[in-house]
Amino acid sequence: MKRDNIQVNDRQLACARINSEEGQNYLKSMAAAANYAWVNRSSMTFLCRQAFAKIFHSTPDDLDMHMIYDVSHNIAKIEQHMLDGKLKTLMMHRKGATRAFPPNHPLIPVDYQLTGQPVLIGGTMGTCSYVLTGTEKGMQRTFGTTCHGAGRAYSRAKSRRNLDYMTVLDNLKEKGISIRVASPKLVMEEAPESYKNVTDVVNTCHGAGISDKCIKLRPIAVIKG
């Protein structure tokens, strides 16, 4: 950054010019991580379908277990946006955020051209999550971007210090939520108390017009790897 005379407004931020060696290495590494994520989600989807098929003595197709939508977040993409009254090609890096393109945008699938891009905002394993759709107002005000989650209220370390493993499990059980977890510490780190109120966050996005509320989802089973 010093070499290229790049200044940022927060000491925690760092960046590199896209066409520099560092910038190109970052984009390649990000692409590799994104490919891993796509394959990981595809594998989990396949195994989930197989489990349901086995228990219900049916097939995933007969159970209507088709993919509705899959999207990456925390990723950089090359897009065209209006900036200072001109159409420009930009590198959009969405951290803690996801695309929320409006209806009729050429980069969203045909199935969602009339509704706008689905926006998946995950809550917590003990509350709820939401599906929203992108808006034209969001395209103008946030480059077609919305948050992808509620955001943490406690750091992971604070969650481990302040929350009790069994209490979290008991609370989930009382709500009828089944959980499978690879490590006990993940239970505290991902406890509902560790996150902000997702409904408040979603209502803020909806009220600001950057995305429209569509569906509220209630968890019945949680897998933490």
Q: In the structure encoding, which two tokens stand for residue 193, read together? A: 């108390």
Closest CA to 92 of 147, 142, 36, 136: 142
Cite the active site residues: 148
CB 91 within 8 A of CB 76: yes
Helix (H, G, I), strand (E, B) or coil at 188: helix
Residue partners of 144: CB distance under 8 A and separation at least 6: 79, 81, 99, 100, 101, 102, 105, 117, 134, 138
Phi, psi of 108 (to 5 degrees): -105, 155
CB 39 within 8 A of CB 31: no
